[in-house]
């Protein structure tokens, strides 16, 4: 069995984040009381090449089936990455792809992720360089597939998506308009919001201590995916049991539909997300 090397980041205030070298994957983000803001399934499998169910899987060079690969969400979440550098509060990991393993993706690239923990903010950057050793421009889609811990999905409202167009994965990818100021989860929700704003908030009214808000800021990623599988789909997932699906919601900065990227040889693209937890009056529940 390959080992799943982990790096632990710490702030002076006592927050921690664990990052796995396998998959370049943020596994946890805990406050000083040990509360994990990122959901990790009890049934998650930490055995390469399985994708890890929870934390922040990186979907690249393809989100879902938006691309030519047969692997849902691409292949970097199933690969061993390299540790580039680390300090108490930041880590950089990278993955080199030589363009050989997947005939449908003959584009060599270097992918880097940097995770920084600073006071109450977790920042994650993703950068990709087309090495120029493949055939011309490199097409890709991507997402930071972030799983948040919630008290119960029935307590969750997502703010910032009203008026946007979205592709409804739970309804044949029909394009629809979001009418709600606060999106709720009466059943399966699996949507790609097109050209989403750079700040979206997840309100969890049932979180201990009077509720909390996850403030998700993104840059470089134009779209945002919102996902909760609900009972029927969750039952079909061996690494997400019942009632665990009630304790998670995914909000994923994505580069999927708006302005698809064709990265020129030698060029670099960079995107990032910055996560913060608001409580009390700041949470505006």
The residues near 180 (Cβ < 8 Å, ≥ 6 apart) are 161, 162
**Whose CA is closest to 64, among 218, 268, 250?**
250
State how beta strands 212-219 and 138-140 pair.
unpaired
Distance set, CA 253 to CA 34, 146, 278 (Å): 26, 8, 19
Question: Is 162 labelled a binding residue?
Answer: no
Question: Is 53 labelled a binding residue?
Answer: yes
Check 25, 107, 145, 222 and give the catalytic one.
145
Question: Is 10 labelled a binding residue?
Answer: no
Report, in Å, the least distance between residue 23 CB and ligand BG6: 12
Contact status: 25 vs ligand BG6 (CB under 6 A): no
Distance set, CA 140 to CA 50, 63, 64, 111, 235 (Å): 22, 8, 11, 12, 31
Contact status: 129 vs ligand BG6 (CB under 6 A): no
> Known catalytic residue: 145?
yes
Q: Report which secondary-structure segment, H or E, holds 93.
A: strand 90-97
Contact status: 78 vs ligand BG6 (CB under 6 A): no
Contact status: 38 vs ligand BG6 (CB under 6 A): no
**Footprint on residues 209-228 left by ligand BG6 (CB under 6 A):** 225, 227
Contact status: 39 vs ligand BG6 (CB under 6 A): no
55/160 with CB nearer ligand BG6: 55
Distance set, CA 95 to CA 20, 50, 108, 283 (Å): 13, 17, 11, 37
Residue ranges of the binding site: 53, 72, 77
Residues of this chain that interact with ligand BG6 (CB under 6 A) are: 51, 64, 72-73, 145, 169, 190, 225, 227, 252
Residue ranges of the binding site for substrate: 53, 72, 77
Which amino acids are annotated catalytic? 145, 252
């Amino acid at each position: 069995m390959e080992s799943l090397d982990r790096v632990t980041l710490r702030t002076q205030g006592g927050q921690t984040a664990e990052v796995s070298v396998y998959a370049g994957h943020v596994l946890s983000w805990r406050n000083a009381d040990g509360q994990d803001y990122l959901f990790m399934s009890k049934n998650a499998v930490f055995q390469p090449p399985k994708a890890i169910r929870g934390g922040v899987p990186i979907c690249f060079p393809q989100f879902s089936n938006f691309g030519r690969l047969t692997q849902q969400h691409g292949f970097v979440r199933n690969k061993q990455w390299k540790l580039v550098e680390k300090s108490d509060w930041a880590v950089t990991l990278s993955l080199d792809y030589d363009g050989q393993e997947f005939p449908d993706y003959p584009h060599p690239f270097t992918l880097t992720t940097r995770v920084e923990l600073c006071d109450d903010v977790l920042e994650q950057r993703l950068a990709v360089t087309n090495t120029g050793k493949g055939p011309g421009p490199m097409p890709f889609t991507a997402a930071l597939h972030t799983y948040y811990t919630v008290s119960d999905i029935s307590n969750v409202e997502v703010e910032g998506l009203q008026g946007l167009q979205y592709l409804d994965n739970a309804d044949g990818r029909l394009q629809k308009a979001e009418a709600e100021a606060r999106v709720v989860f009466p059943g399966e929700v699996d949507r790609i919001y097109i050209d989403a704003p750079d700040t979206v908030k997840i309100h969890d009214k049932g979180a201990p201590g009077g509720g909390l808000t996850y403030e998700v800021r993104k840059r470089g990623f134009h779209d945002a995916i919102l996902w909760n599988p609900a009972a029927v789909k969750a039952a079909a997932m061996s690494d997400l049991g019942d009632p665990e699906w009630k304790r998670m919601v995914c909000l994923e900065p994505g580069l999927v539909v708006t302005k698809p990227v064709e990265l020129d040889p030698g060029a670099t693209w960079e995107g990032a997300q910055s996560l913060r937890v608001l409580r009390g009056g700041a949470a505006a529940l």
